[in-house]
Structure 1
Amino acid sequence: MKRKLRKTLNLIKKIILGFMLVSVFLILLMRWFNPFGSMLMVERKIAHWNITQQRTWKDWDQISDNIKIAVIAAEDQHFADHWGFDFKAINRALIHNQKNQKMIGASTITQQVAKNIFLWPSRSWIRKGFESWFTVWIEVLWSKQRTLEIYLNSVEWGEGIFGIEAASRHYFNVSASQLTPHQASLLAATLPNPRKWNPANPNDRIQKKAEWIRQQMTNLGGKNYLKQLN
C-alpha cells in the first residue's frame, strides 16, 4: 500500500509540474505569437455549432487608442498600476456581495485574459485558482500593452463576435483603427453582458454608461494614459 501511495503521489507531482511548465511555456510564447483563439470561443462553438464566429486579429498600432482607453475606463482603471489583481476592488466586491443578491465581480483585464484564453467560463474556486496562476505569469512575462492587445482581440462582443475588429465592423461598419470616442464608449459599455446589449442600438442604460465612460476616459488623461503601458 505504501508503495502504491508513493507511486500515486509521484505521478501527481509529475502532472502538477508538467502543467506548470507547459502553462508558463505557452504564456511565454504568446509574448510574441498571437493566440489562434480562446477557450471561450471553443466553449461557445460547442454550445452553438450553427453560429459562425467572426474574429480578425489586429496588432496594437491597428487599433484605435479610443477603444484602448475606453475598456480601461470601463473595466480596470488601475490597469497600469496593479500586478494582475485590484485588491481594493476585490474588497469592495466582497462587501457588496455579502449585502446584496445581485453579485458584482472585480476581475482585472489581466484576469479576464487569463480566463478567456486559457480556462473554462464557469464560477468556482478551482477555476479561480487556475486563473490566479495564469494571471501572475501573464503579469511577469507580458507587458501591459501586450495584455491589452490580446484582450481586445479576444473579448466577446456579441453572439459569435470576438475581438475589436469584428465588433467594429459588425456594429459600426468601420475598422478598429477608425473607432471614435463615442463608438468606443458604447462598445465598452456593453462588456458586462455583450450578448444582451447592442452598442449600435443602445438603450438608456447603455447610453448613460457610455457617457460615464467618456468622462472617465478624460479623467484618466485620455490617450496619454496609454504611455504608461509601454
Structure 2
Amino acid sequence: MRWLVRFLFKAVIGFIGLSLLLVLLFRFVPVPVTATMLMDGNGITKDWTSLSNIDRNMVRAAIAAEDGKFCNHDGFDREAIEKAIEDNARGGRIRGGSTISQQTAKNVFLWQGGGYVRKGFEAWFTVLIEQIWGKRRIMEVYLNVAETGIGTYGVEAGARRYYGKSAASLTPIEAARMAAALPLPKERSVTNPRGWLARHGNTIAARIGSVARDGLDSCVYR
C-alpha cells in the first residue's frame, strides 16, 4: 500500500511538472503537432502563422461563432456550463459549453472525444494556459491548431486551401464561413455552403461588426 501511495504521489508530481513545462514551452514556441493531427488518416497540412499575420476578421469571426465572452471569462463560461448540466439532466443534447480556451487546451494537449477524465485534464490545462499564456496567445494557438478541413489545420492553411490566399487578407464573409465550419470541418463546406450553414455563416459575418464595436476582442488587441 505504501508503495502504491508513493507511486501515485510521484506520478501526480511528475504530471504537474511535465504539464507546466509544456505550457511554458508553448508560450513561446509554435506547437509542432497535436494528437489530433497524428491520428488523422488524411495527412497533415498546416502553416503556423503569427497572430499579427491573421486578419482581425478571422479573430472576430471565431469569437462571434465560438465564444462571445472570450475576453471576459477566466477560461470557463459558467452560464454555458450550467445550461449544459440542465440540458443533460433533461436528457437533451449538450452543445456550446466549451470556450475557445477549453478547445485550445484540448486540441494542444489532449485528444478528441468526451469523458470525465478528459474533461478533468482539459480543465487543468485551461487554467494553466489562461494564467501563463494569456488571451492573445490562446487565440493565436487556437487559430493555428484548429482543424479547418480534411487534413487541414490552422486558418492559414485553410485560407490557402479555400480561397487561394493568406489568412492576412480574409474578408468578413470568408472568415465567417471558415468559423462556421470549425465545429465540424470534415462535414461542413466552406466554399459552397447551403441552407442552414450558409445562413449561419452570414449571421457570423454580421456579428463581426458587433464584436469590433463592442470591444469583444479587446483582450487580443491591447
**TM-score grouping bracket, smaller chain normalisation:** over 0.9
Q: 1:127 matched to which residue of 2?
A: 118
Q: 2:217 matched to which residue of 1?
A: 226
Q: Distance in 1 between matches of 2:56 and 2:138?
A: 15
Mapped pair 1:139 → 2:130: yes
Q: Distance in 2 between matches of 1:182 and 1:134?
A: 32
1:157-213 Cα shifts (integer Å, max 9, x gaps) = 111000001100111111110110010001011112110011101011111111111
Q: 2:43 matched to which residue of 1?
A: 52
Per-residue deviation, 1:223: 9.1
Per-residue deviation, 1:57: 0.5
Q: Distance in 1 between matches of 2:26 and 2:130?
A: 12
Per-residue deviation, 1:128: 0.4
- Is the alpha carbon distance of 1:54 and 1:223 closer, same or farther for their aligned partners in structure 2, counting shifts above 3 Å? farther
Q: 1:163 matched to which residue of 2?
A: 154
1:40 to 22, 36, 42: 36
Q: 2:7 matched to which residue of 1?
A: 11
- Who wins on radius of gyration, i.e. which is larger? 1
- Contact persistence 2:144–2:156 (CA under 8 A): yes
Q: TM-score, normalised by structure 2?
A: 0.94
1:130-170 Cα shifts (integer Å, max 9, x gaps) = 00000000101012010000000000011100000110011
Q: 2:95 matched to which residue of 1?
A: 104
Aligned partner of residue 157 in structure 1, secondary structure: strand
- Is the alpha carbon distance of 1:202 and 1:100 closer, same or farther for their aligned partners in structure 2, counting shifts above 3 Å? farther
- Contact persistence 1:171–1:199 (CA under 8 A): yes
Per-residue deviation, 1:95: 2.2
- Contact persistence 2:63–2:217 (CA under 8 A): no
Q: 2:198 matched to which residue of 1?
A: 207
Aligned partner of residue 226 in structure 1, secondary structure: coil
Mapped pair 1:24 → 2:20: yes
Q: 1:179 matched to which residue of 2?
A: 170
Q: Percent identity?
A: 36
Aligned partner of residue 185 in structure 1, secondary structure: helix
Computed over aligned residues only, the root mean square deviation of the Cα atoms, in angstroms, reads: 1.5
Q: Distance in 2 between matches of 1:98 and 1:211?
A: 33
Q: Distance in 1 between matches of 2:50 and 2:158?
A: 15
Q: Distance in 1 between matches of 2:92 and 2:72?
A: 31
